[in-house]
Structure 1
């Protein structure tokens, strides 16, 4: 369930299904009725298992530093449905959402879409009306059959591939890669992160079939540490950008940053912009993303890691930045995740664990997670807000993780705190 979406559905009597239904037929039919607003947008399209949101945020920072107005459609929400659709950091307003839902009702779209398809259509209509220079679109699940995959992008970006949504995408990395590679469009360039050879081959094959210029991390561009900052190098464009410093922590974010710079080169060509190293530096330095090793209070962090690959990145970041701290985790998980692998990874660095229920039909009960955990110090917590309000000792770091839905719930309850 998307918080506050039902408010607009009920107000305007627009029905939609709260299920995942892969395929483009329904949304293509809806967009035809609405005059194809998605065709009016200059889009960068993002898919992949981990790193989509961070890479998107780096592109947003760089683009805005170069003077472009930027719309973005991301999921899931941080607090409620409004923050999934933004322009220059400002969420869509209630008045604007009302107007668009009235439009959907008058167009006769009630009962024809899923919740995510409905919200995707709202985003397209909003951006077509407001006309930001650039629109950054994050796929919801997969890519090939995701409702966002109706756009023709300036460039497509896939940061990583890991096991996820195996019921829909298949239970191998190559089958998942085939879904993600489906966002490639004929003659539109694409950028991908570091991948194993057999997974990378899937993207290479898709690129050849669609005449896509494919830029690969480690082959065409890299990022390296240099004297407390980072250096980006691109052998195709023969450019270097140095003194890059970012707020998004973790070695994996360096790669996401490099993908964003590479993608923005294609955006710059589209808008006939001259790349400015100082503006790239500023865009990288100011890029932030809620729920990605985000400090919300002193010694309290939110991280939306929710699969083994992203949890491993979180663990590596903790080892790098808090090697001598006591680590306390507040964890909530969806039942369709690899819960045992996630717990095993967190237990490498965790000194105490608090397990909480998530108000989501796909959630695993805290009591079940408790039984699966091998941690010595583990507890079930009925009110996760306590984790934010109880004092934190100087040698302790508390981290809320396991699901972006858990982070969203806590934010809604703690608007006056964080």
Structure 2
């Protein structure tokens, strides 16, 4: 479900299917009817199990600080559909969305696409209409058969690979890696994070076949602790950037920062932009992202961790940033995640859980989460808003986590 998307579909009589249907045939047909707006765009394409949003946030800030206009397409939403399509950090307006829906109505693509495919078309149209210099494009599901995989990017990025969406992407790391590696395009640089050995082999093979220059974390570039922050080292390009100080917390965000810097260096070569070290340093220092270890109120944090890999990163960051603090969780999850593994991990640092329902067709029931939990204190919250608001007085830290869809719904209700 894409919040506030239906109103545009109804207003402009453009129909789409809420089901997930992997494959590119339908969107290619629709884009042809729309005169292929994606071909007018300079794109950095980003796939990965976790880390996509943060990597894009770092990249966006670097590009903006170097004077580029930047389109960004991401999912799911933070508040509603409008913030999934942004230019220079500003969500698409209702008027602008009406313009692209009018274009889609006139092109006759109604009934051809899924909701996400339709939204992808809307994003391409908006970015082409506004003639942005750069588009940062996040895959929705996998890569190979994802609706965003119709572009020929300047650079591809694969942030991480872990088990996810196994019913669609496959039940092994190798199968999932084959989907993620689908965004690697002939002759175009690909930047990759720390990947499991099986996944690394798949991506390296794909890059070799596609004759794509490969930049791998800890092989081609890395980040080291610096007395005044962190140090980025690019072995291949012989570039060192010192005194990097991140606003986004957690060691994993250092890796995402490094991916973004490497991709920006490669992208800048193609666009013939001079990379200014001071601007990179400044960009890293001011990059932030909603729902990534985000303190929304005193003693209340939002984090969009929603699978075992991202939950482990959250736990690491909590231990690092909030040692010896009493921790409790407000948790809602979608049913197709590894719920038991997530719970077992979170239960290593807290014995107090508050489970919630939220409006999504894939959402797990709070009562099912309660049943699976082994925590000593576990409660179902019928209305989590008063609980979150009162948590500012809690002698400890309350984390709201488990699903970005949940956080979007809560943000809407709290108007933050």
Q: Taking structure 1 as the reference length, what is the TM-score of the superposition?
A: 0.98
> Which range is displaced more, 109-118 or 289-298?
289-298
Hey, what's the Cα distance between the residues in 1 that align with 2:336 and 2:162? 14
Counterpart Cα distance in 2 of 1:119 and 1:350: 39
Q: Distance in 2 between matches of 1:391 and 1:321?
A: 19
In the TM superposition, 1:278-297 aligns within 5 A as: 278-297=278-297
Contact 2:297 2:392 in 1 (8 A): no
Residues 375-395 of structure 1: CA deviation (Å, up to 9, x unaligned): 011110011112321143464
1:329-340 aligned within 5 A: 329-340=329-340
Matched, 1:87 2:82: no
Aligned to 2:107: 107
Other-structure match for 2:57: 57
Matches within 5 A, 1:5-404: 5-393=5-393, 395-404=395-404
Cα deviation, residue 195, structure 1: 1.4
In 2, Cα distance between the equivalents of 1:81 and 1:96? 13
CA displacement at 1:99 relative to structure 2: 1.3
In 2, distance between residues paired with 1:406 and 1:56? 22
SS of the residue corresponding to residue 223 of structure 1 reads strand
Q: Which runs of 5+ in 2 are unaligned?
A: none
Contact 2:308 2:342 in 1 (8 A): yes
Residues 326 and 351 in structure 1, CA contact (< 8 A), matched pair in contact too: no
Cα pair 1:330 1:387 within 8 Å, conserved: no
For residues 226 and 349 of structure 2, the distance between their equivalents in structure 1, rounded to whole angstroms, comes to 28
Question: Following the alignment from structure 1 to structure 2, what is the Cα–Cα distance between the partners of residues 313 and 242?
Answer: 24
For the 8 Å contact 2:299–2:391, the answer to whether it is kept is no
Cα distance in structure 2, aligned partners of 1:134 and 1:110:
28
Helix, strand or coil at the partner of 1:329: strand
CA distance in 1 between partners of 2:411 and 2:367 (Å) = 23
CA deviation map 1:124-153 (0-9, x unaligned): 000001011110000000000000000110
Give the secondary structure class of the aligned counterpart of 1:156.
strand
Paired residues, what number? 416
- Distance (whole Å) between structure 1 residues aligned to residue 162 and residue 126 of structure 2: 32
Q: Is the 8 A contact 2:228 2:244 kept in 1?
A: no
Deviation of 1:44 after TM superposition, in Å, equals: 0.2
1:290-329 CA distances to partner (integer Å, 9 max, x unpaired)?
A: 1111111112111111000000000000010111111111
Show CA shifts across 1:355-404 (max 9, x none).
00021111110001001000011110011112321143464111110000
For residues 42 and 395 of structure 2, the distance between their equivalents in structure 1, rounded to whole angstroms, comes to 47
Deviation at 1:228, TM superposition (A): 4.5
Q: Which runs of 5+ in 1 are unaligned?
A: none
Counterpart contact for 2:85–2:91, Cα < 8 Å = yes
Indicate the SS of the match to 1:246: coil
Q: Is the 8 A contact 2:231 2:242 kept in 1?
A: yes
C-alpha spacing 1:146/1:348, structure 2 compared with 1 (3 Å): same
